């Protein structure tokens, strides 16, 4: 692509990353449209440090290209480097060196990357090359790093619920003065209903495709042909305008049921009553507070019940902000945490969806088709299985980072390493999210069509989650027996006959031996 020359001699190069697609960005705060140049680049390193889902790459490249056009319409000079451009340097540091050389500049301004890896690479590059780097805090979050550190300091346990209350007070969302709306902070107890199939179940908004998206789809289809996932049908929104429509669509059609069925799973309904907005939010097309304020308004207008609205707002100003805080508090070691010393490689069916376990086949095939699975599928199906089977948590982390359109390490790693694998030893969760087939049966329709029998505890036809659940607890008894929230489970095990215990352990061994 050609470089547009700004009207006056340029001064600073402003790097805008692929997940910084927001006009209000700290890097642009005091920038000069007449003098500064914005750099955006599709580099191979970012597109391949894990084997990202094809839809995820296409979504980001198309959203980046649309954002560059928006910036130009807003009067900025944008240097946009496409993946197949001759002068694409392959990595962001190399691209920065190239652009600084071409433009004769030595100053770079940017909003801090969300991922530790990239932040480190750019800081190291600037130090080694004597570049003046002005890396600014990402102000698109409710809680700053400093604020989170202050909250975390001196606390024995970093529980999300208490952090969330601070964020409610800070934002004033669903607050009546100092008191939470309705008298309670959290309405989760009302949010655990199983769902039934419904012909009229709302679906996420399908975006329109334009020439830019078509061009990107062709590029990704060729360059990333071997990557996981289906490129078509491509229905993701790639502009802020359409992301706002997707938000409105969610509020009007789906939000009222979000709370009730938040934990439910149905084989033929990949999205259920979820918002499917995380990929837009994490790329910067939407902001967390604008989403929460719109959802809050639906409650005050009488369009959605409190359990749905509180539950939704908690996910964003609670969980999302909290996991980001944990990530930056604990990196760089966090992604290598392995509390249970789990070493088993990731089974091949995580990439093929070829499994006789109907729940796993559904979660993985939906992931392959949509670059999406909802929270309970990620936590209680694919995550639960990996933890029970003793899969290496770093391999699990890399899988999640690759396959979801909303996956960035700062949000994915605490959810995987901490919440779903308990690999951080309980920093984030008070007990492992381990469950037998009974939980999946209660919350889904998967077991009805499964080759395994969820009621059978042991033997070749038993649901694999059943023996694996006990095997996991016993394998890791030295680390878990003292957990007060697991006392009941260990007492149940201790009361079992030796014969029954043996049957569980040998059935689990047979399942594990069969994993390839
Ligand atoms: C193992 C595992 C891996 C995950 N990986 C990611 C990831 O890579 N990226 C990601 O954004 N979320 C991740 N999550 C959290 C959550 O599953 C997704 O945010 C959600 O499924 C996205 O779909 P949605 O937009 O329909 O969310 P909804 O169910 O509609 O929830 C609303 C919003 O709340 C936020 N949210 C909800 N739960 C969480 C959470 N635990 N942590 C952070 N934000 C949350 C998201 O922004 C989401 O869009 C993960 C959860 C688990 C258990
Ligand atoms: S029987 Fe077990 S493996 Fe099959 S769908 Fe149910 S929980 Fe999953």
Per-residue pLDDT tens over the stretch 265-290:
999 899 999 999 999 999 999 999 99
Looking at residue 3, its pLDDT comes to 43
- Is the C-beta atom of 288 inside 6 A of ligand 2? no
Say if residue 481's pLDDT is above 60: yes
The neighbour count for residue 230, using CB atoms within 10 Å, is 14
Token pair of 367 as six digits: 């992931």
Please, which pLDDT band fits residue 357 given cuts at 50, 70 and 90?
Answer: very high
Rg (CA), the chain: 24
User: Is residue 410 predicted with pLDDT exceeding 80?
Assistant: yes
pLDDT at 5: 45
Residue 357 Cα: closest atom of ligand 2 = 3
Q: What are 485's two structure tokens?
A: 């929230």
Return d(Cα 155, Cα 162) in angstroms, integer.
11
Task: Identify the residue with better confidence: 510 or 268.
Answer: 510
Ligand nearest to the backbone CA of 279: 1
- The reply to whether ligand 2 has any atom less than 6 angstroms from the CB of 427 is no
Q: Where residue 389 falls among pLDDT bands split at 50, 70, 90?
A: very high
Work out which ligand 1 atom sits closest to the CA atom of 276.
26
The confidence score (pLDDT) of residue 7 equals: 47
Nearest CA to ligand 2 atom 5: 447
- Taking residues 323-332, report their average pLDDT: 97
Structure tokens at 146: 């400093």
Average pLDDT (141-158) is 94
| Rounded percentage of the chain residues whose pLDDT exceeds 70 | 98
Q: What single-letter DSSP state applies at residue 344?
A: B
Residue 444: both structure tokens together: 């889904």
| pLDDT band at 9; cut points 50, 70, 90 | low
- DSSP H or E run through 136: strand 132-136
Looking at the CA of residue 412, tell me the nearest atom of ligand 1: 8
Helices H / strands E in the chain, number of each: 24, 7
Mean pLDDT for 499-505 is: 98
Query: Ligand 2 in contact with 357 (CB < 6 A)?
Result: yes
Mutational pocket test of ligand 2: of 194, 377, 450, 453, the residue with most ligand atoms within 8 Å of the beta carbon? 450
Any ligand 2 atom below 6 A from CB of 359: yes
Nearest to 11 by CA among 75, 100, 80, 98: 100
Closest CA to 51 of 396, 407, 402: 402
Mean pLDDT of the chain: 95
Dihedral angle computed from the Cα positions of residues 91, 92, 97 and 100, in that order, rounded to the nearest 10 degrees: 140
Per-residue pLDDT band at 10 (split at 50, 70, 90) = low
What's the predicted TM-score (pTM) here? 0.96
Q: 433 by DSSP, 3-state: which?
A: coil
The pLDDT score that the predictor gives to residue 144 is 97
Cis peptide before 17 (omega within 30 of 0): no
What mean pLDDT do residues 119-124 have? 98
At residue 260 the predicted structure's pLDDT band, cuts being 50, 70 and 90, is confident
User: Which H or E run includes 97?
Assistant: helix 92-103
Q: Regarding beta strands 77-81 and 132-136, do their DSSP bridges make them parallel or antiparallel, or are they unpaired?
A: unpaired
């Amino acid at each position: 692509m050609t470089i547009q020359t700004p009207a006056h001699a340029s001064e600073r190069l402003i790097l805008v990353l692929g997940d910084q697609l927001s006009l209000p960005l700290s890097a642009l705060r005091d920038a000069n449209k007449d003098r500064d140049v914005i750099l955006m680049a599709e580099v191979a390193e970012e597109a391949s440090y894990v084997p990202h889902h094809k839809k995820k790459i296409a979504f980001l490249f198309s959203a980046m290209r649309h954002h560059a056009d928006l910036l130009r319409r807003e009067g900025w000079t944008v240097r946009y480097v496409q993946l197949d451009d001759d002068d694409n340097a392959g990595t962001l540091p190399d691209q920065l060196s190239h652009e600084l050389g071409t433009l004769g500049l030595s100053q770079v301004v940017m909003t801090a990357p969300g991922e530790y890896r990239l932040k480190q690479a750019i800081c190291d590059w600037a130090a080694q090359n004597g570049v003046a780097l002005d890396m600014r805090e990402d102000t698109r979050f409710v809680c700053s790093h400093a604020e989170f550190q202050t909250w975390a300091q001196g606390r024995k346990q970093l529980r999300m619920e208490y952090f969330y209350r601070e964020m409610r007070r800070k934002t004033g969302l669903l607050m009546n003065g100092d008191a939470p709306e309705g008298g309670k902070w959290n309405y989760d107890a009302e949010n655990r209903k199983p769902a039934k199939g419904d012909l009229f179940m709302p679906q996420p908004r399908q975006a329109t495709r334009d020439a830019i998206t078509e061009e990107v789809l062709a590029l990704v289809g060729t360059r990333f042909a071997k990557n996981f996932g289906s490129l078509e049908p491509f229905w993701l929104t790639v502009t802020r305008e359409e992301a706002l429509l997707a938000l409105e669509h969610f509020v009007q059609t789906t939000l009222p049921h979000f709370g009730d069925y938040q934990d439910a799973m149905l084989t033929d309904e990949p999205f259920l009553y979820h918002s499917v907005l995380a990929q837009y939010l994490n790329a910067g097309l939407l902001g967390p507070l604008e989403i929460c304020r719109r959802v809050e308004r639906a409650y005050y207008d009488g369009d959605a019940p409190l359990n749905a609205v509180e539950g939704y707002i908690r996910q964003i100003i609670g969980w999302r902000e909290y996991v980001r805080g944990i990530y930056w508090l604990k990196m760089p070691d966090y992604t290598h945490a392995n509390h249970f010393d789990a070493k088993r490689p990731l089974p091949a069916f995580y990439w093929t969806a070829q499994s006789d376990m109907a729940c796993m086949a559904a979660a993985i095939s939906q992931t392959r088709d949509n670059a999406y699975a909802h929270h309970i599928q990620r936590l209680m199906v694919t995550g639960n299985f990996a933890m029970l089977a003793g899969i290496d948590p770093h391999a699990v982390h890399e899988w999640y980072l690759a396959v979801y359109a909303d996956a960035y390490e700062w949000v994915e790693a605490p959810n995987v390493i901490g919440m779903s694998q308990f690999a951080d030893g309980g920093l984030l969760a008070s007990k492992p999210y381990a469950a037998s087939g009974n939980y999946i049966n209660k919350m889904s329709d998967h077991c009805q069509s499964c080759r395994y029998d969820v009621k059978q505890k042991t033997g070749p036809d038993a649901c694999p989650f059943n023996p694996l659940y006990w095997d996991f607890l016993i394998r890791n008894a030295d680390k878990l027996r003292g957990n007060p929230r697991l006392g009941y489970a260990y007492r149940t095990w201790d009361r079992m006959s030796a014969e029954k215990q043996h049957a569980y352990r040998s059935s689990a061994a047979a399942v594990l031996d069969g994993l390839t």
